[in-house]
C-alpha cells in the first residue's frame, strides 16, 4: 500500500527514473545480440564502414542467402573446391542435425526422468531416497570429465560419427537435472487425488496418464526446455564424437568458418543469428515456465 502522503509527482519521477535505468541496462545487455543482428543484415560493403552503424543504411539478406544456398554457390560445375575459403555449403545439414539431436535427446530425457521421478515419489523400494541425490551429483559433473570416457563407450557401441552418439551424450548431461527437477515437482503434487482414483478402481497406468501427467505438465515443460538448451548449445561432445563435416551440429560446424584465411564476419553473424532464433522463439513461448521451473529446481529442490 502506498502512503497517501507521498506525492504523486515524486512517484512519477521515480518511475521515469527507473524506466531510464531499465532501458539503459537492457540496451547494454542486449547490445551484443543487436550488433550481430545488425551486422548480419548489412551488405558486405557496409560491415567494415566507419563509423559503424547500428541500423544498416541498406538492409540486405546477402549473408543469409549464402548460408542457405551456399552449396550451389560454392560447387559451380567446372570450378575446383577451395577449402581455404571456409564455404558454408553444409549449413543446412548442420541445422537439421542440431534439430534432430535436440529433439531426440529431449524426448528421451523427459520420458525417462518423468517415469523415474514418478516411481521414486510414489512407490517404496530400496534406494528411493538416495537416487535423486546421486542424480544431482551427476548433474554437477562437467562435460569435460565425461567426454573422453563417454567417447570410448560410443566406440564400443559402434556409434562414433553417428548422430545417436550425440543424442545419448546429451541425455547423459540433461537427464540428471531433469530427474532432479521432476522429482522435486512430483513431491509437490498431492497424492490424495491419485489415491481416490485408485480406490475408485482406475488402473495405475490410467491414473498416471490422466491425472498425474496433466498435473506434472509445468515440470515436464521446464525439463524439456532445459534438455533442449543443453543439446542445442553443446560444442564439446560434437567436437569429439563426430568427425565428418556433414554430420556436425551447428555449434561445431560454424566454428569451421574461422578456418579460412579471411574471416567472413557477415556470414559468421548470420549464422549466430540463425542459431539463436530457435531459442528466442522457444523463450518467448515458455518464459514463464522457464523462470518457475529453474527457480524450483535450482534453488529449492
* Residues in 244-263 at the binding interface with other proteins, rule: CB under 8 A: 250-251, 254-255
What are the counts of helices (DSSP H) followed by strands (DSSP E) for the chain?
13, 0
280 binds other proteins (CB under 8 A): yes
Nearest Cα to 223, choosing from 275, 270, 151, 292? Answer: 292
Contact between residue 294 and residue 222 where contact means Cβ atoms under 8 Å apart = yes
Binder of other proteins out of 61, 73, 155, 191 (CB under 8 A): 155
Gyration radius from the chain CA atoms: 25
The CA-atom distances, in angstroms, between 245 and each of 24, 40, 89, 94, 248 are 42, 24, 10, 9, 6
Binder of other proteins out of 11, 12, 20, 26 (CB under 8 A): 26
Binder of other proteins out of 43, 56, 70, 138 (CB under 8 A): 138
25 binds other proteins (CB under 8 A): yes
Binder of other proteins out of 68, 92, 136, 189 (CB under 8 A): 136
- How many Å apart are CA 12 and CA 29, to the nearest integer? 26
Q: Supply the minimum distance, in Å, between the C-beta of residue 23 and other proteins.
A: 8
Binder of other proteins out of 83, 158, 188, 295 (CB under 8 A): 295
107 binds other proteins (CB under 8 A): no
Phi, psi of 188 (to 5 degrees): -85, -10
215 binds other proteins (CB under 8 A): no
209 binds other proteins (CB under 8 A): yes
169 binds other proteins (CB under 8 A): yes
Contact between residue 46 and residue 269 where contact means Cβ atoms under 8 Å apart = no
Binder of other proteins out of 45, 158, 206, 259 (CB under 8 A): 206
Amino acid at each position: 500500500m502506498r502512503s497517501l502522503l507521498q506525492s504523486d509527482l515524486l512517484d512519477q519521477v521515480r518511475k521515469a527514473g527507473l524506466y531510464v535505468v531499465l532501458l539503459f541496462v537492457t540496451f547494454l545487455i542486449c547490445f551484443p545480440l543487436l550488433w550481430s543482428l545488425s551486422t548480419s543484415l548489412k551488405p558486405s560493403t557496409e560491415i567494415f564502414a566507419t563509423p559503424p552503424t547500428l541500423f544498416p543504411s541498406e538492409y540486405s539478406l546477402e549473408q543469409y542467402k549464402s548460408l542457405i544456398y551456399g552449396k550451389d554457390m560454392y560447387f559451380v560445375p567446372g570450378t575446383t573446391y577451395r577449402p581455404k575459403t571456409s564455404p558454408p555449403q553444409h549449413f543446412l545439414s548442420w541445422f537439421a542435425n542440431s534439430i534432430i539431436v535436440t529433439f531426440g535427446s529431449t524426448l528421451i530425457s523427459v520420458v525417462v526422468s518423468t517415469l523415474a521421478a514418478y516411481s521414486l515419489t510414489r512407490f517404496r523400494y530400496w534406494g528411493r531416497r538416495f537416487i535423486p541425490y546421486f542424480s544431482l551429483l551427476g548433474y554437477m559433473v562437467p562435460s569435460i570429465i565425461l567426454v573422453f570416457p563417454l567417447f570410448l563407450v560410443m566406440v564400443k557401441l559402434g556409434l562414433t560419427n553417428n548422430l545417436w552418439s550425440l543424442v545419448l551424450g546429451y541425455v547423459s548431461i540433461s537427464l540428471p537435472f531433469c530427474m532432479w527437477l521432476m522429482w522435486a515437482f512430483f513431491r509437490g503434487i498431492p497424492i490424495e487425488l491419485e489415491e481416490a482414483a485408485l480406490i475408485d478402481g482406475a488402473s495405475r497406468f490410467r491414473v498416471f496418464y490422466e491425472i498425474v501427467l496433466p498435473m506434472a505438465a509445468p515440470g515436464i515443460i521446464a525439463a524439456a526446455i532445459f534438455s533442449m538448451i543443453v543439446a542445442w548449445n553443446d560444442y564439446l561432445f560434437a567436437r569429439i564424437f563426430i568427425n565428418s563435416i556433414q554430420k556436425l551440429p551447428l555449434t561445431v560446424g560454424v566454428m569451421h568458418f574461422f578456418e579460412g584465411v579471411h574471416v567472413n564476419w557477415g556470414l559468421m553473424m548470420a549464422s549466430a543469428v540463425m542459431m539463436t532464433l530457435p531459442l528466442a522463439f522457444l523463450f518467448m513461448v515458455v518464459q514463464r515456465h522457464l523462470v518457475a521451473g529453474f527457480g524450483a529446481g535450482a534453488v529449492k529442490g
